[in-house]
Each structure stands twice: as C-alpha cells, then as structure tokens.
Amino acid sequence: MVIAANAVPGQGGQGLNLQHMAEGLCEAFELSVFCRAPIGIAPAHVVPGSRTEAIIGTTPLLRRARGLQGHLSATHFDHYVAAHLPAAELFQGITGQCAFSLRAARARGMRTVVDVVTAHVDEFRAQAARECAGFGVRPPLSGATRRRMLDEYAGADLVRVMSERARRTFLDRGFPEDRIVAVAPHVDPGEFPAADFAAPKFRISFVGLIEPWKGFHYLIAAFNALRLPDSELLLWGGPGSRPVSNFLRAAMARNPAISIRPVEVRRIGYAEVYAKSSVLVHPSLTDGFGYTVLEAMASGLPVIVAAGAGAADLVVDGHNGYIVPGGQSGPIAERLEHLYHNPALMRRMGAAARRTAAELTLARFRRLYVSRLRALCAGAIADGGNARSAD
C-alpha cells in the first residue's frame, strides 16, 4: 500500500494524521510513504520542495499569499508522487493534493482512497466564506482547489473521513453510503499529563490556527461578556491574516486577561497547554475532526465544542463536555459560566472526557479501517458509484 501526504510526519493536523495512518496500517500492509520528511515507521519517499516554493518562501510579499503557496506546493507534490508511484495494491492520498497521483494509481490497476481531513469542500467553503467576509479576508480555498477536490472525490474508490459529522456532509450531497467511511484517529492517553485544576485562575484555552472559520471571535465575545474574576483566555496558535492580527491586538488591548501564545503545542508540551487549563473551547464552524479536542479530552479536560466540528462526535452533552450551536457566543458564555461556578462538575466532566479518549485505541482504528480497505481490495465496495469486481 502507498500513502501520500504533503506533510511532515507528526507536525500539524495533516502530519499527525499521516503519522497515525502509518501506525495504523503498518501491520496490515507493506507500506510505502510519500511525505516531506522521514517517518521511521515505513520506507519513505521524501518529496523535495520545488524552486517555486523556495522563491515564495523567501519573498516577503509572496509569503503572505498562503493560498497560492499551498496550491503550488500541493500541485508539485502531487505531480512528483504520480511520476514516482511504485507498484502496489492500494493507493491513498490526501484530498487537495492527489488528483494526478490518483489517476496514475488507477491507470496502474490500484484501488484508490482519498483521505479527507475536512468536511466536504462545499460545506467548508460556505462556512469559511461567511466568516471570512466579516473580517474582509479571502476564503482559504480557491475555485481551482475546489474543482480538484471534487475530482478526487469522484475518482476514488473509497473516501475516508474522520467523523460522522463529516460523513454526513458527503451523504447530504448524494454520495453512496458504502463509498464514505468515517474512522476517527487513535490516541494514547498516556502521552498526556492529566489536568489537576490547581491553577490559580480559571484558564480557558483555544488551540489551533486563529482563522475566521475557527470561530475564535465568538469565544472572545463570550469571554468578554462574562468578565469572570480570576479567569483568563489563552489562544494557542498564530493568526493567518493581517485583519485577524489587528482584531486580536484590539481584543488584548481592551481585555488584558486575553493573551496569544503563538507556539506549536507539541513543542512546548501538553503539560504546559492542556494540563494547566480548566476547559478547552473549540468553536470551529466546520472541520473534519479537530485533534485538539481529542488531545484535551485525553488530558482530562472538559470541552465545549461547536456542533459543526467533527470532534463533537466524541462529546456527550453534559457528561464529558458541551455541544453548542456554531456561530454564537451566548451558548459558549453560558457553559463557561456554569463550569466556573461548579468546579466539582468540571473535574467530573474532565474525568469522563479522559475515559472517552481512552476508547479511541490503535486496535479500534485498525479494526474499523483495515477491514474496509480489505473489502475494497476484494471488490466489495462500489467504484465511483458503479460496481467493480475483484481483479
């Protein structure tokens, strides 16, 4: 089996997904991996950057054009994989960066999977466009990228998504049920020090890219409305645009209890981020999953998650966290205030969250996903909506 992801293993959401994929599939298949750095678990084809990428990365004005940079990087990666694809039974690529390699794999008789780490592209674009308009910034995915992703969806034998919520965004658009499989990532709670809730302040954490579609501004509005004594809001991540940076500077000037920590969580350490927090809020309007929610739950934190986020699949409202409507600050404020005044409940919810995370084991991932891939190889899954017999 060949898997390809334009990512550094273990870094960022795509890199973490790649790492988990390799861990989950290495026992069932002879793996070959295309990525941006050695992975250690399996033989890796390290794809070099292009000259265009290097020029953009060293040109200040162009460096701000993140959409263009991402598009060119994905296209270069995809062409490289397509040109160097070894013989295999299965090929899996990440959506947005595998259109050419999927075609090359199909031409060589491989079964194909597209790994979708977001919701359906049209769902994501609609939510992102609405939130970006409020900040006057351009939405993250161009029309060309959308067309590429739709082509990948149509051309793959199987589409893997990371949550049932993401799966529904495909089913709602007419995809056959047997072509969409939802498999959440696995986690080892032993990697995450448990929160002890001993910090002198009620610390609310947001972790991830600070982008409009992540809904961070609704969390800031909720926090400002509460003005809880001995509380603080920490946003762990970096802004993706100048208007967002300006918004954050103004928010911190008005409320000194708000601060930004532009660091990589895995570098600074889970103990520093999750274990010292009281609650994690993930107000994303739409995403495929949301690793930070799983990490916070593994750390024994209660979570407040917007209903459109894939990781809301893990939340039993009122038991291990809360699910709130997306795009609203009021419900977030209500849940925060309730936890603030009920520290015993906060601890019980955190313990329940850690138990939930412990259920997402590597064995579970393998049981759910490897069986679907073997069924695909046996010809038991539809091909682009049409039956396909085994070779």
Are 185 and 17 within 8 A, CB to CB? yes
The DSSP-derived string for 145-166 is HHHHHHHHHHH-SEEEESSHHH
Instruction: List residues bridging with 92 in a β-sheet.
Output: 3, 113
**E strands within 100-177?**
111-115, 158-161
Per-residue burial over 37-70, b = 16 or more CB atoms within 10 Å of its CB, e = otherwise: eebebbebeebeebeeeeebeeeeeeeeeeeebb
- The two beta strands, 180-182 and 158-161, are parallel
Model's pTM, two decimal places?
0.92
Q: How many residues does the chain have?
A: 391
Residue 153's Cβ-count burial label (10 Å; 0-12, 13-18, 19+) is buried
Q: Please, what are the domains in the chain?
A: 2-186+361-377 (3.40.50.2000), 189-358 (3.40.50.2000)
Are 346 and 7 within 8 A, CB to CB? no
Which pLDDT value is given to residue 49? 84
Closest CA to 212 of 124, 272, 274: 124
Which pLDDT value is given to residue 386? 39
Which pLDDT value is given to residue 60? 54
156 Cα distance to chain centroid: 21
Dist. CA 219–CA 208, nearest whole Å: 13
The whole-number mean pLDDT for each consecutive block of 10 residues of the chain, a chain of 391 residues, reads 96 93 96 95 91 58 57 92 97 97 96 97 95 93 92 97 97 96 95 94 96 97 97 95 96 98 91 97 95 97 97 98 98 98 97 98 96 88 39 28
